[in-house]
Chain A
Amino acid sequence: MAKTTEVTVWATGVVQDKEGRDVCLVLTEAAFNEGKFTQAFDNYVDLPDRINVQVRKYARISDAEIENKFEYENHRPNIVGVCEATIMKGINVCKGLQDGGYLIINSTKKPEDLLKYVPEKEKKRLKAIACVDALGIAPEQLIDYSGAEGAEDVSAIGLGLGSAMAGAIAAVSGIVKKESVLGAAANRTSAKRGYDEVKIKVLK
């Protein structure tokens, strides 16, 4: 069975709904341009979307055709992105993380300070934890529903916070190349800054 890399992105409802979706879309488009099989979708259990509720966005990247295409949740993610660090305080974002997984958080804090919100079981599986000040790099958080629930996105993909997060995820995990991410994101500058300015703490 071909290896499928699963990405789960946590964001706050309405405010970061598009940005969370953009992280997945930028990563999958970058991987698609590299010739991989990809899939990006929202979590349906989190709906209806309410302001500041925790929502999940998913992406799958694979070398061969994705076998679990119609499973609607990533229960065993390889990479977890958190668009708002406060979410980690109330919920175990790393639940079901696979061994050697990565955690990338949008925060101005150091990665060491946020490690306390990860329970022991998941902490052992983490390969690296990283922080990027995505809100400082790209402060736009566009509220736009055109791309929700599988519809076509009329606004550009990766204009704000999402592009910096996608750059950081690519830098930490290496699932896609730098050039691919910069090409996929509409805001090339912030994707590049996210890629370069991410603070990584390797745990094992």
Chain B
Amino acid sequence: MKERYKKYTVEIPEEMALPFAGIVEAPKVNGEQPMMLTGGWRIYRPVVDHDKCVMCKSCVLACPDATVLLVDGGQKIGFNLDYCKGCGLCTWVCPVNAIDRVPEIDFEDGVPFQDALFLLPHVEALYAD
């Protein structure tokens, strides 16, 4: 089977590989774009059961914000919880039901705490005594 399709495949060197199309690259530094922090939208947090996970990476492709990360040298699935907005698509696409949705309020941490939404310098004065 592999030989049959070999003539259609192209070997791409790693330095020429592109990020997958149609998706903006995930923010590398957390808090880089404070007005776009969407972690606070999340009501259900995705939690991976690593025993069930078969590393098909469907969730990596499905995530609209590119917040599903490959951690431990690409061996495990992790999440960038500062930007994950809890849409649940990763749970939906998982073929082995390895990703659970757990209520965010039951965890102690994981959400970046913002003092206000859209805080601009001239707005700050209106909140003062």
Query: Contact at A75–B126, with CB atoms within 8 Å?
Result: yes
A-binding residues in B (CB < 8 A): 37, 39-43, 85-87, 103-105, 111-118, 123, 126-127
Contacts of B126 in A (CB 8 A): 73, 75, 96
Cα separation A52 to B112 with both chains bound (whole Å): 16
Chain B residue nearest to A88 in the complex (CB): B105
Contacts of B104 in A (CB 8 A): 86, 89
Query: Contact at A89–B111, with CB atoms within 8 Å?
Result: yes
Within 160-189 of A, Cβ neighbours of B (below 8 Å) are at none
Question: Which of the residues A75, A84, A109 comes within 8 Å of B43, measured between beta carbons?
Answer: A84
Query: Contact at B43–A86, with CB atoms within 8 Å?
Result: yes
Within 85-118 of A, Cβ neighbours of B (below 8 Å) are at 85-87, 89-92, 95-96, 107, 109
Q: Given that A12-B43, A52-B42, A54-B41 are contacting pairs, would A86 and B114 also be in contact in the complex, using a CB cutoff of 8 Å?
A: no
Shortest CB-to-CB span from A43 to chain B, Å, is: 9
Q: Is A76 an interface residue (CB 8 A)?
A: yes
Query: Contact at B113–A90, with CB atoms within 8 Å?
Result: yes
Q: Is A46 an interface residue (CB 8 A)?
A: yes
Known: A89-B40, A96-B127. 13 other contacts (CB 8 A): A12-B41, A45-B118, A51-B87, A52-B41, A75-B127, A86-B103, A87-B40, A90-B39, A90-B40, A90-B41, A92-B114, A96-B126, A109-B105
Query: Contact at A45–B40, with CB atoms within 8 Å?
Result: no
Cα separation A54 to B104 with both chains bound (whole Å): 15
Cα separation A85 to B105 with both chains bound (whole Å): 7
Query: Contact at B127–A90, with CB atoms within 8 Å?
Result: no
Query: Contact at A46–B105, with CB atoms within 8 Å?
Result: no
Q: Is A200 an interface residue (CB 8 A)?
A: no
Q: Given that A86-B105, A95-B115 are contacting pairs, would A52 and B85 also be in contact in the complex, using a CB cutoff of 8 Å?
A: yes
Q: Is A142 an interface residue (CB 8 A)?
A: no
Between A and B, 17 residue pairs with Cβ closer than 8 Å are A12-B41, A46-B117, A51-B87, A52-B85, A53-B41, A54-B41, A84-B43, A86-B42, A86-B104, A89-B105, A90-B42, A91-B40, A91-B115, A92-B115, A95-B116, A95-B127, A96-B126
Q: Given that A52-B43, A76-B127, A95-B127 are contacting pairs, would A90 and B118 also be in contact in the complex, using a CB cutoff of 8 Å?
A: no
